[in-house]
Amino acid sequence: MAELLLPWYRRCGRHDLPWRKTQDDYALWLAEILLQQTQVRTALPYYGRLLAHFPRWQDLASAPLDAVLAQWSGLGYYARARNAHRAAQMVVRDHGGRFPKDRASAMALPGVGRSTAAAVLASAYGQDEAILDANARRVLFRTAGLVGEPRSAANDRRLWQLAAMETPRGTAHDYNQAIQDLGAIHCRSRRPDCPGCPLRPRCRAAARPELLNRYEQTHRSDRPQRYATLLLARDAAGRVLLHRRPEHGIWGGLWSLPILDASQILTDPDQRAQALERYASACGLRLKAQSLDPVRRHLFSHFQLEYAVLHAQLRAEVVADGDSGLVCQDIGSALGLGLPSPIRRLLEQLD
């Protein structure tokens, strides 16, 4: 495969990507973390922003988690941000501020799996490490003509064997970039461009639609529907009540509007009043309901959320240290926290 891929990569590869122009272990690791479950065009502005705010391992390690989440806000999969923060602290504390040079130590870092570790080791240190990210997995699965569930344990073992066999010694970095680019440009999950693919002469799936189409993405309309009612409570000074989300679940670790009901939109005034009373009693607050906004929608990777925002007047002081999981912040200060993108947009409209 390398004999076909590398010449194509030299001509057609995405050489302008910023992480392709460096061998800095921190910058390469950060790119790999951002690109987990995120497309390049989405990750690019966050990569520049995070490097500007946290240019070295030490800067990320010493930053407050809220500052990291604030820069990550809107990118999704927030466990990556928390793991990256912990990983940077481990690199500084245990590895002298450099990405570990052996695979086992690298994989011991939070958020670093085998493929991520391999990608950094190959690109930063020139090691002969094979990757198996989503693009490489799809290319290998199709070219080998594998059948069955692409992520089954048996196929996973077979794909890692193929990845190790096909990765050339001495040019693993270029080969890894090439197979990633091929998956992004030609061997796409939907509507693959087989006629222009350099691997078409040896691809067993090129003439078998059932293998090509195995990677079809779930259409948005097929995603489960969920519902919620959020609380936008402001005090007389215009400060807004925020609640830190648990680390696990949607918007993990971020500051959000409190959720009055996570299963329905409370269109009935009596239901709203009862839910607000329960929440106020549980948190020791005094709240007076005002208006309910029209329904909004937010698309997650595995479901679609429909939610409405209930406005309320907050008539009690809230300790702003966050120890209770609640803070009351002016809009400007709130926008400096790690917020989910729909909450950020909502608060920006209030500012």
Active site residues: 32
Count of beta carbons in the 10 Å neighbourhood of residue 289: 18
With contact defined as beta carbons under 8 Å apart, do 162 and 144 qualify? yes
Cα 333–chain centre separation: 24
- Output the six-digit token pair for 38: 């995120």
- Measure the CA–CA gap between 233 and 170, rounded to whole angstroms: 60
Instruction: Report in angstroms the alpha-carbon separations of 40 from 17, 22, 31, 183, 294.
Output: 9, 17, 9, 12, 33
Residue type at position 301? S
Helix (H, G, I), strand (E, B), or coil: what is residue 244? strand
- Measure the CA–CA gap between 288 and 3, rounded to whole angstroms: 70
Alpha helices, H only, the chain? 2-12, 25-34, 40-53, 57-62, 65-72, 79-94, 103-107, 114-125, 134-144, 153-166, 172-185, 209-212, 269-283, 331-334, 341-350
Helix (H, G, I), strand (E, B), or coil: what is residue 221? helix
- Measure the CA–CA gap between 78 and 36, rounded to whole angstroms: 11
What secondary structure does DSSP assign to 258-327, as a single string? Answer: -EEESS----SHHHHHHHHHHHHHHHT--EEEEEEPPPEEEE-SS-EEEEEEEEEEE-S---TT-TTSEE
